[in-house]
Structure 1
Amino acid sequence: MRTGALLLLVLAMTACSPAADEPISDFLARTLPEGPGGTVIAARGDRIVDCEGFGLADRAAGTPAACDTVYDVMSITKQFTAAAILKLETMGRLRTSDPISAHLGQVPPGKQGITVHHLLTHTAGLPESLGDDYEVLSREGLLARALASAPLSAPGERFRYSNAGYSVLAAIIEKVSGLGYEEFLAEHLFAPAGMTSTGYVLPHWDRSRMAVEYDAGGRAKGRPDEHPRAPDGPYWNLRGNGGMLSTARDMFRWHRALIGDTVLPGGAKDKLFTPYAPMPDSDESYAYGWSMHGTGDGRIAWHDGGNSWSLASYARSLDDGVMTFWVSNHAYRDSRWNLEDVQEDLTLGILDRARASAA
């Protein structure tokens, strides 16, 4: 998640402006700078309004970005981890109120008050990270570092964004389910949702569909699966909090599954989208893997993800079913473009046009 990204979302629930009547493709053409590649999808309810690529997914091969191009969705991974925890709760395997010691065994005195809920809401007092994303680190190594880290605040006291906390949640998923993290998600979330192109290593992607990422100097950094990782996915500084690969079409399928009870019953979805932890310097609160913004007219759930090369944003209007997901494999170019500069306008504009075109 990139703090300070979308100030979103009061405007998202206002009536569409006349400009919202323009096609999404025209809006993209005048809003996006010339150069980056990526994909955009927009939907209302269970109907795709628009799905299209812009620019190139692989410059060396001349491959255009498309609706089924595979990207790293980065911190948007957290919503899958949160949904998996709630799935385990509906299965009677854990409770979000459980202390982490119930699933991890003995923990140091300073960590005994941490619950699963605290990890989900970034209120456990854990650091943002415990090392480089691509550092060779096992599950038990990650847990040892997390439990030995100095508390930054008391459990439940305040929101402190923590990738490490979501990796601890991934470890809990494995210990409670007896399955690997990705295996559990694939069986209990992705398959029921009809998602065929989301995961770390299990989907059978044609690698030519994977977008190559580019740095601010325009240099190719390879495809997401070419970065250092274990045979079953990222090492544990990234597992559970980022690094999931997916497509725009699969992100729509996830949205569609969350509209109904395909992956989670109503009560569990209520917990998923309840704003629990106020976020500093913001009018938003964090739910379980989602940032929440509410107005008198409706509620927006959103999350973004970014690294040094790519940027993605996923936003869902919970009251009228409008959604958008967009991602770029080249978000930053020295002295030419920075997609964070247009992130808010892009997300809001797509939502408005999806709402207008589906009316």
Structure 2
Amino acid sequence: MANHHDPTRPSVMAAALVATALLTGCASSGPETIEAFVAEVVPDGSSGSLVAAVDDQIVYCRGWGSADRKTNTDATCDTVYDVMSMTKQFTAAAVLKLQMQGKLDVGDPIAAHLDDVPSDKSDLTLQHLLTHTSGLVDSLGDDDEPVSRTDLVDAALSSRLLSPPGAEYRYSNVGYSLLAAIVEHASGTGYEEYLAANVFAPAGMHRTGYVRPDWSDRNVAVEYDADGTPQGRPFEHSWAADGPYWNLLGNGGMLSTARDLALWHSALRGDRILDEDSKQQLFEPRVKEEPGGDTHYAYGWVVRDGAGGPELWHNGANGRSYGEVARSADGEVLVFWVVNQSRSENPGWDFEELGPELTEGVIERLRGTE
């Protein structure tokens, strides 16, 4: 099941455990208030991790329930999960970093970086891929199909466009996999290798990646279906030696922790990864997701107006796990949460439905408005 983003979903996110005092200037509720709210909202039998930060300070980061029910391993702030379509913001950051390094431009036609581009895609640019306005289909098959980079690129280039480049917003996981291939071409290195050196390391994110971190199974959450049946850890599905196959690579499947997502937020507040111009490009609302809607896609982020001002948001789902990340456009507040069972048949609950209440409630408490 392909990672996805639902543009009709609200855009704010939730968090969990004590770390240190808040910076002055934000009238936030204390971690105990957030803890009580999270305990009230998350259903019995669920499990996941949440982090909330104000400026560069983690306010709350904790897990609840079990990362592995068979071994009774508790979920924590440092449990590793699939962050699913939230991977796209890392791919977008890699493209902008390469632009800073003079190795590509977001206005480049894809033919500058991919061979044998057919005439119907000669006008297709990197920006079209970044904003889901390429006209490409959402997916070309199952995430776990053993599809190589060459297979993916050939299939994407030979596919029929659903609309002319730039004409319509159509969410496309295929487009972000093509961006991963372009990152490899422009950098001369592997996609994960480039991210590790140019994005994750400068941010201090040592628990984020596909295969480069030294994962211990005990630290990686087992995923569960709606019946509560274990479906294994993400890398126990069909993966190549260097990570997911290319129907997933670049658009989803990245593994990370709540603590590392807080480090990502902190890095985006400064210039360790992207300069101010690049961050402005990353977050600029560019194309409406739905006619008459109030959300716009930027580069790997959704932008919408929230009660406290513009918000940046994205979600991810793979049929087993679900998660969301949200941060204020001014970089003051971050909330990220992820669960390793997205819904349950008995008792019945669904985190795609619970998400808005959880996210918005934590954001309100971070801002001291609840």
Taking structure 1 as the reference length, the TM-score comes to 0.94
Matching residue of 1:289: 300
What is aligned with 1:92?
102
Displacement of 1:20 after TM fit? 9.4
What SS does the corresponding residue of 1:208 show, helix, strand or coil?
A: helix
Correspondent of 1:148 among 149, 158, 169:
158
CA distance in 2, matches of 1:278, 1:317: 19
- How much does 1:225 deviate? 1.0
Aligned to 1:12: none
Question: Structure 1 263/291 Cα, relative in aligned 2: closer, same or farther at 3 Å?
Answer: same
> Partners of 1:99 and 1:334 in 2: how far apart?
47
Q: Distance in 2 between matches of 1:143 and 1:249?
A: 34
SS in 2 for 1:29: helix
Q: Identify the residue that residue 338 of structure 1 maps to in structure 2.
A: 350
* 1:97 and 1:115 in contact (8 A); partners too: yes
Cα separation, partners in 2 of 1:8 and 1:201, compared to 1, 3 Å: closer
SS in 2 for 1:50: strand
Indicate conservation of the 8 Å contact 1:21/1:356, yes or no.
no
| Residue 7 (1) aligns with residue 19 (2) | no
Residue equivalent to 2:23: none
Structure 1 residues 20, 337: closer, same or farther in 2, change over 3 A?
farther
Query: Do structure 1's residue 182 and structure 2's residue 195 form an aligned pair?
Result: no
Question: Cα RMSD between the aligned structures?
Answer: 2.0
AA matched with 2:10: L
Q: Distance in 2 between matches of 1:50 and 1:295?
A: 22
- Tell me by how many angstroms 1:34 deviates: 0.7
- In the TM superposition, structure 1's runs of 4+ consecutive aligned residues that sit over 2 Å from their partners are 4-9, 16-22, 294-298
Letter in 1 for 2:338: V
Would the aligned equivalents of 2:28 and 2:365 in 1 still touch at CA under 8 Å?
Answer: no
8 Å CA contact 1:5–1:344 kept in 2: the answer is no
Matches within 5 A, 1:1-359: 1-4=4-7, 6-8=9-11, 23-280=33-290, 282-294=293-305, 298-319=309-330, 321-335=332-346, 336-356=348-368
Determine helix, strand or coil for the equivalent of 2:244.
coil
Cα offset, 1:331, TM superposition: 1.2
List gaps (5 residues or longer) in structure 2. Answer: 13-25
Number of aligned residue pairs: 352
CA deviation string 1:127-162 (max 9, x = no partner): 000011000011011000000110100110110000
The separation in 2 between residues aligned to 1:254 and 1:81, in whole angstroms, is 13
Instruction: Return closer, same or farther for 1:17/1:45 CA change in 2, 3 Å cut-off.
Output: closer
Deviation at 1:353, TM superposition (A): 1.3
Question: Structure 1, residues 269-304: CA drift from partner, whole Å, max 9, x if none?
Answer: 000000111101531000000000136952110100
More moved, 296-305 vs 202-211: 296-305
Percent identity over paired residues: 51
CA distance in 2, matches of 1:17, 1:296: 16
1:4 to partner: Cα distance: 4.6
- Contact kept, 8 Å, 2:177 with 2:246, in 1: the verdict is yes
1:207 deviates by 1.6
Q: Distance in 1 between matches of 2:29 and 2:159?
A: 51
In the alignment, the residues of structure 1 paired with residue 354 and residue 92 of structure 2 have an alpha-carbon distance, to the nearest angstrom, of: 28
Task: Kindly indicate whether the alpha-carbon contact (under 8 Å) linking 1:21 and 1:353 is maintained by their aligned counterparts in 2.
Answer: no
Change (3 A) 1:304 1:230: same
